[in-house]
Each structure stands twice: as structure tokens, then as C-alpha cells.
């Protein structure tokens, strides 16, 4: 497999640039629904979901609002809300 120059080779590669301003929707975690499984953290392509147990936070400086965390959450504990700027 040949990689192009634009290939993402590991999670968190956008840490050099704050990319949160790209968002139209942002994920919001309902900690009462969250069971602490960590699936959201595992699937976030930019490692914006941080935490452990039932204490998770989203680093909005880097979250692009892709919605993968909300899509993968089996408890529907993450919802995408319209960004207010």
C-alpha cells in the first residue's frame, strides 16, 4: 500500500493546529447516560475525547464535530448540537 503525503498516520496528528473552529455541530456528553465504556474515546480520530470511568470530556479546541463519537455511542449519551459562535 502506497501512502500519499496527505495520509493520516496516527491519531492526534492535528494537535499542531487548533481545528475546533471548523465545527458546525459539537458533541455534548450526557454523563447520566454514560456508562464509561470508552468507545467514544477509542473511535475519535483526533483523540479529543479524554477521560476514564464515567468522567469524560471533549477537547473543543481540536474537535472538528465529525460526530463519530455520537454515532458509535451505544448508550446514546452523546448528542450533536448546533455550534453557537
Along the 85 residues of the chain, how does pLDDT read in single tens digits? 454 444 455 565 555 678 888 899 999 999 999 999 999 999 999 899 999 888 899 999 999 999 999 999 999 999 999 998 6
Q: Write out the CATH class of domain 25-82.
A: alpha beta
Grid coordinates representing 42 are 477509542
Q: What is the pTM of this model?
A: 0.78
| Per-position DSSP letters for 11-61, written without gaps between them | TTGGGGS--GGG-SEEEEE-TTT-----HHHHH-TT--EEEETTEEEE-TT
Among residues 41, 40, 45, the alpha carbon closest in space to that of 12 is found at 45
d(CA 24, CA 21): 8
Q: How do the domains of the chain map onto residue ranges?
A: 25-82
Question: What pLDDT is attached to residue 18?
Answer: 80
Amino acid at each position: 500500500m502506497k501512502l500519499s503525503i496527505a495520509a493520516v498516520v496516527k491519531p492526534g496528528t492535528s494537535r499542531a493546529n487548533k481545528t475546533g473552529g471548523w465545527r458546525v455541530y459539537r458533541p455534548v456528553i450526557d454523563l447520566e447516560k454514560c456508562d464509561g465504556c470508552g468507545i467514544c474515546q477509542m473511535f475519535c480520530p483526533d483523540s479529543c475525547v479524554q477521560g476514564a470511568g464515567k468522567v469524560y470530556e471533549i477537547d473543543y479546541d481540536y474537535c472538528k464535530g465529525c460526530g463519530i463519537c455520537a454515532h458509535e455511542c451505544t448508550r446514546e449519551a452523546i448528542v450533536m448540537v448546533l455550534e453557537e459562535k
